[in-house]
């Protein structure tokens, strides 16, 4: 299969700052390689493409065992007020050092590159979101419609 015929479908189910970048980076890599990219944002992953939330994503410091060795803090310390904000600030700083754009800019860049971004209809209904709540350029799809789009694609769940 030629590169222009390849298709990558990503399901983004988590909306914390540390979980926003993997689907965005993979979709960007796909587009840069000429691969058709489709990202389906479901449940908390919708925060990544919701206008009011996408610029305010934070790192979860409790219940995230991989985080603690990175910041060298015990799990119980993550529950102290302000720890999530501090961890989020540190992660944003590290992301900027790598020259990655902030989430809203990254999402816009993907749309401009021709990636297809979809909000899950059921999750949006559950969270009382409308298409107008999503970033311009995102579409709303049901799970069955996304399954049709993903037919024959390489699919990744994040």
Quote the pLDDT of residue 93. Answer: 85
**Rounded mean pLDDT of 1-9?**
74
Q: Give pLDDT tens digits for 64-80.
A: 555 545 555 666 555 66
Average pLDDT, the chain: 88
Confidence bin at 121 (pLDDT 50/70/90): very high
Residue 3: the pLDDT is 45
Name all domains of the chain by residue range, CATH numbers in brackets: 8-55+101-157 (3.40.1260.10)
Nearest alpha-carbon partner for 27 in 149, 122, 112, 136:
112
Work out the pLDDT band at 81, boundaries 50, 70, 90.
low
List, as one string, the DSSP characters of 124-143: HHHTT--GGGBPTT-EEE-H
Residue 152 has a pLDDT of 95
Please tell me the predicted confidence (pLDDT) of residue 5.
85
């Amino acid at each position: 299969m030629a590169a222009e015929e390849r298709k990558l479908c990503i399901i983004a189910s988590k909306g914390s700052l540390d979980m926003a970048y993997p689907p965005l980076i993979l979709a960007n890599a796909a587009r840069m390689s000429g691969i058709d990219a489709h990202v389906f944002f479901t449940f908390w992953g919708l925060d990544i493409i919701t206008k009011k939330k996408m610029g305010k994503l934070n790192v979860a410091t409790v219940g995230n065992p991989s985080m603690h060795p990175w910041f060298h803090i015990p799990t119980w310390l993550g529950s102290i007020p302000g720890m999530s904000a501090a961890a989020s600030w540190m992660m944003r700083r590290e992301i900027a050092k790598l020259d990655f754009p902030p989430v809203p800019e990254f999402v816009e860049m993907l749309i401009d590159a021709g990636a297809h971004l979809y909000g899950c209809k059921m999750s949006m209904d559950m969270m009382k979101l409308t298409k107008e709540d999503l970033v311009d350029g995102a579409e709303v799809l049901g799970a069955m419609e996304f399954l049709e789009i993903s037919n024959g694609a390489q699919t990744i769940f994040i």
